């Protein structure tokens, strides 16, 4: 069907890219983030565990660095990774549930099963961002929380350095070194893609509007304006503030 083909086209590129990158993703992302990736994941893991969940779904989990941190700290948690890349899913630790495919397919059969949904460096690449956020809402139901981590062009002077790094250095580094073995008949090189997709995203200024359209509202911005990433915690729109679900021990 034509509509399905159109919808699947961006997924096909992402699937190819992350299959190709799966085995080197964590090390390479650590380098590309100038040594910050693992700290970002630590911070994200802390934010998730502070919510005292029983079940967490990481959508676009890649090779599962975050899921490994969570599994190590809370072996009792139900953890699920969802990803377009089958090869990335092979890296998930034992005991973590996995689903190969797009979120929209997973969300159909798992309504309300999770306390926390996470999407880290995934939202930016979605053709329908509010639809993606609405699907995440299906997974968590009325009591859930959502954590979104994304790249963000910093405010002020640091933004100039960010542009030079992201849009000059990174595409060149990608083309000549990090992804020099990428077959260009498969589409743009992964770091050229990353640069272009970040350019269209900026600081994700419309995040509020996409979240609202997807049934969420921001509870808290967890990172300052000058940072190169944005971490946001959201709850279903209309839920009274502070009315988070009770700690697991009381359920």
Ligand X SMILES: C[S@@+](CC[C@H](N)C(=O)[O-])C[C@H]1O[C@@H](n2cnc3c(N)ncnc32)[C@H](O)[C@@H]1O
Binding positions for ligand X, rule: CB under 6 A: 14, 18, 29, 59-62, 65, 82-85, 88, 102-103, 120-122, 125-126
Q: Which is nearer to ligand X, 199 or 248 (CB)?
A: 199
- The backbone region for 187, taken as left when phi is positive above 0, alpha when psi lies in -120 to 50, beta otherwise, is left
> Residue 99 Cβ, how far from ligand X at the closest point, in Å?
8
Q: Which is nearer to ligand X, 44 or 77 (CB)?
A: 44
> Residue 11 Cβ, how far from ligand X at the closest point, in Å?
6
> Residue 157 Cβ, how far from ligand X at the closest point, in Å?
27
Q: Which is nearer to ligand X, 7 or 239 (CB)?
A: 7
> Residue 243 Cβ, how far from ligand X at the closest point, in Å?
28
Q: Which is nearer to ligand X, 55 or 136 (CB)?
A: 136
Q: Which is nearer to ligand X, 102 or 144 (CB)?
A: 102
The dihedral over CA atoms of 131, 136, 138, 142, expressed in degrees to the nearest 10, equals -120
Handedness of CA 102, 104, 107, 109 (dihedral sign): negative
> Residue 194 Cβ, how far from ligand X at the closest point, in Å?
8
């Amino acid at each position: 069907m034509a509509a399905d083909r159109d919808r699947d086209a961006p997924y096909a590129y992402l699937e190819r890219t992350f299959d190709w990158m799966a085995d080197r993703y964590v090390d390479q992302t650590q380098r590309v983030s100038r040594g910050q990736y693992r700290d970002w994941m630590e911070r994200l893991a802390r934010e998730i565990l502070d919510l005292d969940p029983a079940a967490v779904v990481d959508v676009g989990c890649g090779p599962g660095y975050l899921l490994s941190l969570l599994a190590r700290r809370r072996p009792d948690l139900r953890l699920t990774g969802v990803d377009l890349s089958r090869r990335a899913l092979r890296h998930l630790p034992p005991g973590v549930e996995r689903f190969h495919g797009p979120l929209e397919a997973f969300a159909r059969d798992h309504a309300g099963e999770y306390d926390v949904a996470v999407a880290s460096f995934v939202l930016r690449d979605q053709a329908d961002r509010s639809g993606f956020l609405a699907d995440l809402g299906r997974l968590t139901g009325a009591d859930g929380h959502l954590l979104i981590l994304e790249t963000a062009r910093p405010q002020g002077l640091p933004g100039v350095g960010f542009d030079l790094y992201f849009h000059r250095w990174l595409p060149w580094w990608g083309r000549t070194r990090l992804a020099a073995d990428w077959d260009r008949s498969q589409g743009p090189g992964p770091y050229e893609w990353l640069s272009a997709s970040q350019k269209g995203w900026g600081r994700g200024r419309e995040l509020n509007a996409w979240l609202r359209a997807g049934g969420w509202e921001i509870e808290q911005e967890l990172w300052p304006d000058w940072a190169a990433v944005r971490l946001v915690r959201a709850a279903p729109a209309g839920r009274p503030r502070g009315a988070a679900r009770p700690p697991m021990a009381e359920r």
